[in-house]
Structure 1
Amino acid sequence: MSLDSTDRRILEVLQRQGRISNADLSERVNLSASACHRRVQRLEAEGYIKDYVALLDARKLSVPTTVFVEITLQGQADELLDAFERAVARIPDVLECHLMAGSADYILKVVAENTDDFARIHRQHLTRLPGVAQMQSSFALRTVFKTTALPV
């Protein structure tokens, strides 16, 4: 299915206001409530809308420190990559893990209370990941820009 301009407007609004009522959404995208509801259901069924979530405030949850960790593995065998990916997915402090092309094999986005807490995460979890040859951590000083909205 290809997206038309109305589908794109629906996706733009829902990315920024996931709790908007169908009545308000239909008004914003200039559709009847029933037509808007059908389109949203179709966008969900076809996988354009994966889920609805609440975005939480990391500071209020006492994890304001963001650390990006570059990891190089000892090799590239499928078994090693699979073992690493299964293990890293079990670490609750890791928000994202990306397989990379470039100098590192993976980049992780980790949240922590502070540097001491990151030291604990590093010692208890990251150093125990299978196949790690090298690790480099970079602390974010300030988040300049952050969004979850994809360009549609």
Structure 2
Amino acid sequence: MTELDPFDLKLLSCLQDDASATNQQLGERIGLSASQVSRRRQRLEEVGIVRRYRADIDPAAVGFTVVAFVGVALNAHSRQNARRFRDLVRALPEVQEAHVLTGDMDYMLKVAVTDLAALSRFINDELLPHDAVRNVRSSIAMETLKDDNRLPFAETVR
């Protein structure tokens, strides 16, 4: 793990708020010069702490009105089977997140689709026919209460 000082943590918190902010704007917020922010930002990117920058798009505003959580149990618990399933998940654009679990389900997928018919096609045409998959269980999100994917840096910078 890379050692982070309070300025790094403040910078990361500010980047979570607005990754499009200039180094000058970030420096004003955290009390550093633009060149110091630039060097820190570049180091955080190089070591992989800052993985990417992207736009936060409202799914419903662009037609993705159904969010579902899909639990998947594998047929067999082998390295090869897990690899086949991971390859499948990485190739499916509907999957926003995929997590390996403990318990009765092996994986939990967060899926965004346009409607219930698209969810049905995703489950019945992509997941269930796959050799690695034994069982699928889905839950549809009726309302999203929080969706900011922010890490709680403010708690560590006090």
TM superposition score normalised by structure 1: 0.95
How many Å apart are 1:86 and its aligned residue?
A: 0.6
25-34 or 41-50, which deviates more: 41-50
Indicate the residue corresponding to 2:156 in structure 1: none
Match of 1:14 in 2: 15
In the TM superposition, what is the alpha-carbon distance from 1:128 to its structure 2 partner?
2.2
79-88 or 117-126, larger mean C-alpha shift: 117-126
- Asked whether the 8 Å contact 1:15–1:149 carries over to 2, the reply is yes
Separation in 1 of the partners of 2:90 and 2:39?
35
Q: CA deviation at 1:129?
A: 2.3
Aligned counterpart, 2:102: 101
Amino acid in the other structure paired with 2:71: E
Partner of 2:130: 129
Percent of aligned pairs sharing the same letter: 32
Partner of 1:112: 113
CA distance in 2, matches of 1:117, 1:48: 35
Q: Deviation of residue 2 (structure 1)?
A: 1.0
Q: Any idea what SS the aligned residue of 1:125 has?
A: helix
For 1:144, the equivalent position in structure 2 comes to 145
Contact 1:87 1:130 in 2 (8 A): no
Structure 1 window deviating more from structure 2 (20-29 vs 120-129): it is 120-129
Q: Secondary structure of 1:60's match?
A: helix
RMSD across aligned positions (CA):
1.1
Q: Which runs of 5+ in 1 are unaligned?
A: none
Partner of 1:6: helix, strand, or coil?
helix
Q: CA deviation at 1:150?
A: 1.4
User: Which structure 2 residue ranges, 5 or more long, are not aligned?
Assistant: 154-158
Counterpart in the other structure of 1:3: 4
Q: Distance in 2 between matches of 1:35 and 1:59?
A: 39
Partner of 1:34: 35
Cα deviation, residue 137, structure 1: 0.5
Between 1:113-122 and 1:131-140, the stretch displaced more is 113-122
Q: Distance in 2 between matches of 1:47 and 1:2?
A: 13
Q: Deviation per CA, 1:59-78, whole angstroms, max 9, x where unpaired? A: 12211210101111111110
* TM-score after normalising by structure 2: 0.91
Shift of residue 37 of structure 1? 1.2
